[in-house]
Amino acid sequence: MPAQPPAIDEDAVRPDSAASTVGGPSFSPLYRQIKGLLITRLQAGEWKAGEAIPSEQELAARFGVSQGTVRKAVDELAADNLLVRRQGKGTFVATHAEEKIQYRFLRLTPDKGAESLGRQLLDCKRQRAPAWIAKLLQMRAGDPMVEVRRLLHSGGAPVVLDEIWLPGDLFKGLTVEKLSQHRGPFYGLFEAEFGVHMIRAEEKIRAVAADADSASHLQVPEGTPLLSVERLSFTYGDKPVELRRGLYNTANHFYRNELN
Amino acid sequence: MPAQPPAIDEDAVRPDSAASTVGGPSFSPLYRQIKGLLITRLQAGEWKAGEAIPSEQELAARFGVSQGTVRKAVDELAADNLLVRRQGKGTFVATHAEEKIQYRFLRLTPDKGAESLGRQLLDCKRQRAPAWIAKLLQMRAGDPMVEVRRLLHSGGAPVVLDEIWLPGDLFKGLTVEKLSQHRGPFYGLFEAEFGVHMIRAEEKIRAVAADADSASHLQVPEGTPLLSVERLSFTYGDKPVELRRGLYNTANHFYRNELN
DNA sequence: AAGTGGTCTAGACCACTCT
DNA sequence: GAGTGGTCTAGACCACTTG
């Protein structure tokens, strides 16, 4: 049997169809092209967050490749946390909405216990993006932007002061009401209401001294050392869609990380 | 063809040989058992850091399984950073010694540029482990322990003050001379001289104020906010073998992290 | 040319979930 | 029992490295 038999479907993939780019990578295996197609469909919203995608057999038939090739593409997407496999049930679009207990991107851990976090919305304004934010979000300075500020509490005490900046065009109907009425992580709301999936983020962490404003919100003396966590979140196609700056009081919590 | 044909070798794996444990996992696939055997051999030092392991064909024959099963075991070990695959050459034992440019576990990044770090050894003493260190390293309080302190410089300015604690029995011949003469990351020395491979680590990060001692070493005013990074490193079998506490001056550097 | 890892296929059977 | 993902095998061929 030839390794790459003729395709049988309009969706079918041509071997090396992505390899003809001059100066590009010299070789792109079939399963990576399948992976690309699946990402395109996820991006287009063909399957919603939390829904099942078609079975491997069906995808294999649709793309005109063997099940093993689809499997390898899906394996990578599952490793990237874009999909979640559940044996006997199917493969599902990953979502931040139903993550049990913990917020997927929040690395804050209490020294003891595991109380859940309470949220308090401070404000939500529409503004024009300053240059430094626009640059990180790949917008133009002055473009419309949403700014949200909030507090996270643990056992009654404020622990995190967050500032969140979002591109105005992607989050058109975002209001204080929607944010405050919503249960669970913001990222769940973003998926359901705006079709924006956060799939990856980069954080820059520093130690800073609390200024007057943050000190009063976090109920600590001015000058208290705080963890500054600047997070840039990306959606499909490595497009940055959220900038966040959190100030963490690490008196009774720490930022947990795992190195491999 | 049966999915699990008879084994042909003394090394051969019995299907589900690990599944008979009462109360244990109900099923352990072949490739995971192979993975376990490979880890055992790595741990025993059968192949040294940086060396090639036998080819997949040879391992398949040795274990009495198909090449595809060995491949899946090796895939996971490569994903865990225990092995490194190099197409056309072979599969190699991962090492910290030859990592180009960057220290694998060091997430510190300069705001601009990418100068290399200079090292300055402060001291290296053998002591008895205090209770809190002993507990983390799974030793008994009072057991012999090596304590190292050092500074990392970037462009002439001190940036990191590190305290490192190691179990005395594993690092018998460790001296100031060895440490100061050695080039490259400590972890390279630990592999070559003591056969200790760091394969994974957990970090707890906080913001703290510089005390008198750390302030003078890092040449900052007392009370300056610093990043406190407590790292517990593990070798094969999730055995903790190093505790480290770093104080990072984040005036011109940040701790980088990636979330998935 | 030989040897290594990398891709792709095809088919059989196992484990898990739901009806 | 039917459908899904998970494991295992066997063989062919491709891409890369080295002699």
**What digits encode the pLDDT tens for the residues B60-85?**
999 999 999 999 999 999 999 999 99
Whether B132 maps to a domain, the answer reads: yes
Nearest amino-acid residue to C17, taking CA and C1': A88
Contact B255 A200 (CB under 8 A): no
Considering A41, A58, A93, which residue would you say is the last residue of a domain? A93
Does residue A135 sit in the same domain as residue A236? yes
Whether A220 maps to a domain, the answer reads: yes
C1' of C7 to CA of B76 (Å) = 18
pLDDT at B27: 85
- The string of pLDDT tens digits covering residues B162-173 is 999 999 999 999
Does residue A86 sit in the same domain as residue A107? no
- The string of pLDDT tens digits covering residues B147-159 is 999 999 998 999 9
Does residue A60 sit in the same domain as residue A160? no
Whether B24 maps to a domain, the answer reads: yes
The reply to whether the CB atom of residue A87 sits less than 7 A from any atom in nucleic acid chain D is yes
Does residue B49 sit in the same domain as residue B103? no
Q: Decide if A31 contacts A72 (C-beta within 8 A).
A: yes
Contacts of B199 in chain A (CB under 8 A): 260
For residue A87, the SS3 value is: coil
pLDDT at A113: 84
Task: Name the nt closest to A28 by C-alpha to C1'.
Answer: C7
pLDDT at B4: 40
| pLDDT at residue B14 is higher than 60 | no
Distances B248 to A155, B139, B150, B159, B254 between C-alpha atoms, Å: 30, 28, 12, 6, 9
- The string of pLDDT tens digits covering residues A218-238 is 999 999 999 999 999 999 999
Does residue A77 sit in the same domain as residue A113? no
Position with higher pLDDT, A99 vs B204:
B204
Helix ranges restricted to H, A49-88: 56-63, 67-79
Chain C bases closer than 7 A to any CB of the protein: 3-18
**Structural domain boundaries, residue B217:** 99-255
Encoded tokens for B179? 């440490």
Whether B251 maps to a domain, the answer reads: yes
Contacts 24+ apart (CB under 8 A), A126-134: A126/A168, A129/A165, A133/A165, A133/A243
pLDDT at B213: 98
User: Of A6-20, A127-141, B35-49, B106-120, where does mean pLDDT reach its minimum?
Assistant: A6-20
Encoded tokens for A32? 């990576």
Does residue A245 sit in the same domain as residue A116? yes
pLDDT at B13: 54
Chain D bases closer than 7 A to any CB of the protein: 3-18
Helix and strand counts by DSSP (H, E) for chain B: 7, 10
| pLDDT at residue B2 is higher than 50 | no
Does residue B130 sit in the same domain as residue B245? yes
Considering A65, A93, A121, which residue would you say is the last residue of a domain? A93
Write the residue in B80, B205, B225 that is nearest to A260 by C-beta: B80
Contact B260 A80 (CB under 8 A): yes
Task: Name the nt closest to A27 by C-alpha to C1'.
Answer: D15
Does residue B62 sit in the same domain as residue B124? no
pLDDT at B185: 92
Does residue A151 sit in the same domain as residue A28? no
C1' of D18 to CA of B52 (Å) = 15
Whether B223 maps to a domain, the answer reads: yes
pLDDT at B98: 84
Write the residue in B228, B248, B256 that is nearest to A204 by C-beta: B256
Does residue B139 sit in the same domain as residue B182? yes
Residue B225 phi, psi (nearest 5): -65, 130
Write the residue in A80, A207, A259 that is nearest to B105 by C-beta: A259
Does residue B115 sit in the same domain as residue B84? no
Does residue B18 sit in the same domain as residue B120? no
Q: Decide if B253 contacts B154 (C-beta within 8 A).
A: yes
Beta strands in chain B (DSSP E): 83-86, 90-93, 108-110, 117-128, 144-154, 157-167, 200-209, 225-235, 239-248, 253-259
Closest residue in A to B247 (Cα–Cα): A207
pLDDT at A100: 73
Q: Quick one: DSSP state of residue B236? A: G
Whichever domain contains A89, its CATH number is 1.10.10.10
pLDDT at B164: 98
Nearest 10 degrees: Cα torsion B17, B22, B23, B24: -20
**Residue A219 Rama label (left phi>0; alpha psi -120 to 50; beta):** left
Whether B131 maps to a domain, the answer reads: yes
Considering B72, B93, B114, which residue would you say is the last residue of a domain? B93
| pLDDT at residue B101 is higher than 80 | no
Low-confidence spans in chain A with pLDDT less than 70: 1-25
Whether A6 maps to a domain, the answer reads: no
Contact B259 A202 (CB under 8 A): yes
Whether A144 maps to a domain, the answer reads: yes
C1' of D10 to CA of A31 (Å) = 21
User: What is the domain count for chain A?
Assistant: 2
Whichever domain contains A172, its CATH number is 3.40.1410.10
